[in-house]
Structure 1
Amino acid sequence: MGHTVELKAADGFKLSGYRAEPAGRPKGALVVLQEIFGVNHHIRAVADRFAAEGYVALAPALFDRAERNVELGYDQTGMERGLKLRSQVQLTDTLTDVQAGIQALSDVGKIATIGYCWGGSLAFLSAARLNGLACAIGYYGAMIAAHAGEKPKVPVLLHFGEDDHGIPLTDVEKIRQTRPEIEIHVYKGAGHGFSCDERESFNATSHEAALKRSLAFLNKHLS
């Protein structure tokens, strides 16, 4: 089980985060980047699972600049509210808050970002714009294609679902062509959110395959 911490961004803004610690010596550290549903039960569980794998995992509350203590469900109401909240935070401010998460882990060892949905896009952008990272992993980030011209400073791994109605395969191909140095995997029969076991779109086979690749990637770049 993790605990709530306070982070301070470079502009002085204070935001909360959920931090989970491994039982033994950390293999490294992860900044876990939320979906549009806040640092909810699922994101805390993701952090706990990575802690069980040996990593210090910290999930910054990236909606705090708009509203604090946001925990949304995966229904239509949650989707609509999450989209509205995301529209109320500026990308530059959000990345400033991600950097605060990186800074809070700087004494642990090598650091990665790993994000899902909105957080998947933020993981890619953090690799291109932020400092202090060793690698980044993004799951089904819809904004990545539009920012594919930005060159990551560190190795990046991306996961997409073949049947993601929000991210056409033409977008994935654009990323491949623009950023051939990035490792990209597309999962057959998987839709958006395939790695979230609290969504109807959860695909256990694709989730396990992506997780295996993610853990190998982290072991390679954080060890």
Structure 2
Amino acid sequence: MSEWLKLEAADGHELSAYVARPSGEAIGALVLVQEIFGVNAHIRSVADGYARDGFVVVAPALFDRYERGVELKYEGEDAKKAGELWKKLRHDTALLDIAAAYEVAKTTGKGIGVLGFCFGGLMSWLTATRGETLKMQPSCCVGYYPGGIGQFAKEEPSCPVMLHIGSADSHIGSDQIEAVRAAHPEVEVFVYDGAGHGFNRDVDPNSYNPKSAVLARKRTLDFLKTHVA
């Protein structure tokens, strides 16, 4: 079962969130943080998939601060628009919107994980390191291809973190990966041979790497069940 809800962030901003619920009793809750393409069909399918695994999933629409109803594809003018909107995103306000989604997740009374992709992967890391200032204390965080994470590598996460990065990711060099590993040997960082940025996007043939996507999802689900469920 899924629905769209209206949330209110701490600064008064109203935003939408896609919420997917399991058919039976929830085993936990997830805040799912979008890529730079909005809460599009792919992100909703990810939410629906984890709902089938037993989680209540809340995906806040981070672009609502700039334009409502953004739902983009991965090429052409949509890709260009995604890049333009990405430049408007700010870490501090994105965290406010994630915190609003976190409040919905809290109503389940279960453990809460944060799962993000691309920009959302970076925001998952920042939720782990900065979330306590916004009353977020997730049980764990997972970030897929978190671009720019190297500059935040020395921040201290307050919960277990798992990261998935492709070895051929043009946005995340080995220097960023090593910066995280050096600062946090306890963080599980998985590098997928031959996979590029966006390797989990099964609707994007230019990015999808089936072998890596399946393995990363299995690792993620096991991680979530260990720390959240």
Q: Which sections of structure 2, spanning at least 5 residues, go unmatched?
A: none
C-alpha deviation, 1:89, in angstroms:
3.0
Percent identity between the two aligned chains: 43
| Aligned length, in residue pairs | 223
C-alpha deviation, 1:175, in angstroms:
1.1
Normalising by structure 1, we get a TM-score of 0.97
Distance 2:163 2:89 in 1: 24
Conservation of the 8 A alpha-carbon contact between 2:137 and 2:158: no
Structure 2 counterpart of 1:11? 11
Structure 1 counterpart of 2:221? 215
Letter in 2 for 1:66: Y
Letter in 2 for 1:143: G
Structure 2 counterpart of 1:80? 80
Distance 2:146 2:192 in 1: 14
Letter in 2 for 1:125: L
1:50 is the counterpart of 2:46: no
Q: Secondary structure at the match of 1:197?
A: coil
Distance 1:142 1:89 in 2: 13
C-alpha deviation, 1:149, in angstroms:
1.2
C-alpha deviation, 1:107, in angstroms:
1.8
Distance 2:198 2:45 in 1: 15
Conservation of the 8 A alpha-carbon contact between 2:148 and 2:171: no
Worse-matched range after superposition: 128-137 or 73-82: 73-82
Distance 1:76 1:58 in 2: 29
Structure 2 counterpart of 1:176? 181
Distance 2:28 2:222 in 1: 13
Pairwise CA RMSD: 1.0
C-alpha deviation, 1:3, in angstroms:
1.0
Structure 2 counterpart of 1:129? 130
Conservation of the 8 A alpha-carbon contact between 2:8 and 2:15: yes
C-alpha deviation, 1:12, in angstroms:
1.3
Conservation of the 8 A alpha-carbon contact between 1:51 and 1:57: yes
Worse-matched range after superposition: 169-178 or 212-221: 169-178
Letter in 2 for 1:204: P
C-alpha deviation, 1:90, in angstroms:
2.2
CA gap of 1:149–1:76, structure 2 versus 1, over 3 A, is farther
Normalising by structure 2, we get a TM-score of 0.95
Q: Secondary structure at the match of 2:64?
A: coil
Distance 2:29 2:35 in 1: 19
C-alpha deviation, 1:165, in angstroms:
1.2
Conservation of the 8 A alpha-carbon contact between 1:103 and 1:132: no
Structure 1 counterpart of 2:156? 151
